[in-house]
A and B are shown apart, each in its own frame.
Chain A
Amino acid sequence: MSTAAKVRLQRAAQHFAAVCKWEWRDLYQEAVRRCLDTRQFPRDVDPVVFIVNVMRSIASAERTRRDKRPEIEFVDDLGAIEVVYATEAASNAEDLQLEAEESAARIKALEDLFADDEELQMVMMGMSDEMTASELRALGGWSEQQYATIKRRMRRRLNARFGAGWTA
């Protein structure tokens, strides 16, 4: 695996760790172990994409598990990763409130990070709202090149602020 591929994995682990609140190294190692458990490793899927999607599914499952919601989810049509959530009673209102507050604090930390840059704010809000790149470009009236520059600026800030871990 190339250096760039490993850097991609490292960055993805750092990001998804913010979702599940694990240490990114733990998340990456858990993903590697789950890949080894997967008997049908898809040959036609880029291993980086596969491992990234495993991390994505772990983070998503962990986030849902923290809410203690009974659910079975089939994640990722690329790697056929199956995540089965533990069936537990819904947690109490206090836990849910705490979880909501933590998420809000992380979003607030992002807003603060981009507070002096309106373009970054707009892109962040659009990404949080699941807007596509072309929708975002239309929103801001940016060319592809301008949009790429904004995204680069965003990545640089994110890495400088949260590179060592996503703490709100």
Chain B
Amino acid sequence: MKGKNTPDPLQNFINASVDDFLSLTDAEILKEVRDGEEDPEELAAEMQRLAQQAIMEHGRGRFARARAQLASRKLSGGASRLTNLSLAEKERVIGQFSANDPRLRGRLTLAARMGHGASEQEIDGVLEDLIELGVIDEAGNPQ
């Protein structure tokens, strides 16, 4: 069994070999690859292809997760948890963002001009937008 303090010769050897290879200059690396009758450009092209494939898969996964979250939010009534908070609590959540967001501040100011302050309905709308953008979760915590 290997632990943090247990000698692991294979892992030690691999770590040292990788560090050794990383310490070479670009020219040394390319020369060694060519000397081994490999084509560096071919290797690089394969790495590029593998990375692009991984990025695409990651993007698909992220999209699927976001879509599932959105569907679940719609099913559970969206920002219902937040809309159940007191007005003061809602203003506190929004206050965390409005100080650094001129557009959000402008939106709230406009609402204020039309009445005595941003209406609760307006605040609920802003909270829903923040959730949809993934800025906060449904409990109002920054994400």
Chain A residues close to B by CB (< 8 Å): 2-12, 15-16, 18-19, 25, 28-30, 32-33, 36-37, 48-49, 52, 56, 59-60, 63-64, 67, 69, 71, 73, 90, 96, 103, 106-107, 110, 124, 127-130, 151-152, 154-156, 158-160, 163
Dominant SS among interface residues on chain B = helix
Q: Which of B22, B32, B54 has the most CB of A within 10 A?
A: B54
Contact B13 A160, beta carbon cutoff 8 Å: no
**B58: interface (CB < 8 Å):** yes
Q: Which of A15, A52, A103 has the most CB of B within 10 A?
A: A15
**Which B residues from 1 to 60 make CB contacts under 8 A with A?**
1-4, 7-18, 20-22, 26-27, 29-30, 32-33, 35-36, 38, 40-41, 43-44, 46-48, 50-51, 53-55, 57-58
The 6 sampled A-B contact pairs (Cβ below 8 Å) are: A4-B27, A7-B29, A33-B54, A59-B14, A128-B12, A155-B21
Residue numbers in B under 8 Å from A124 (CB-CB): 13
Residue numbers in A under 8 Å from B12 (CB-CB): 127-130
Chain B: interface residue total (CB-CB under 8 A): 42
Residue numbers in A under 8 Å from B58 (CB-CB): 32-33, 36-37
Contact A7 B2, beta carbon cutoff 8 Å: no
Q: Mark B113-127, 1 if CB is under 8 A from A, else 0.
A: 000000000000000
Contact B57 A15, beta carbon cutoff 8 Å: no
Give complex CA distance A60, B4 in Å. 10
Contact B32 A152, beta carbon cutoff 8 Å: yes
Dominant SS among interface residues on chain A = helix
Known: A18-B14, A32-B54. A6 touches B48 (CB 8 A): yes
Contact A96 B1, beta carbon cutoff 8 Å: yes
Contact B30 A67, beta carbon cutoff 8 Å: no
Give complex CA distance A108, B112 in Å. 76
Residue numbers in B under 8 Å from A37 (CB-CB): 58
Residue numbers in A under 8 Å from B35 (CB-CB): 156
Residue numbers in A under 8 Å from B8 (CB-CB): 63, 103
Residue numbers in B under 8 Å from A159 (CB-CB): 32, 36
Known: A67-B2, A69-B1, A163-B36. 14 other contacts (CB 8 A): A3-B41, A15-B18, A18-B14, A29-B53, A32-B58, A33-B58, A36-B54, A59-B14, A110-B13, A127-B12, A127-B17, A128-B9, A158-B17, A163-B38
Residue numbers in A under 8 Å from B4 (CB-CB): 71, 73
Contact A64 B29, beta carbon cutoff 8 Å: no
Closest residue to B3 on the A side, CB-wise? A69
Nearest Cβ on chain B to A130's Cβ, whole angstroms: 5
Contact A128 B36, beta carbon cutoff 8 Å: no
Known: A60-B11, A67-B1, A127-B12. A32 touches B33 (CB 8 A): no
Residue numbers in A under 8 Å from B17 (CB-CB): 15, 127, 154-155, 158
- Which one of A16, A49, A71, A96 contacts B14 once the chains associate, using CB atoms below 8 Å? A16
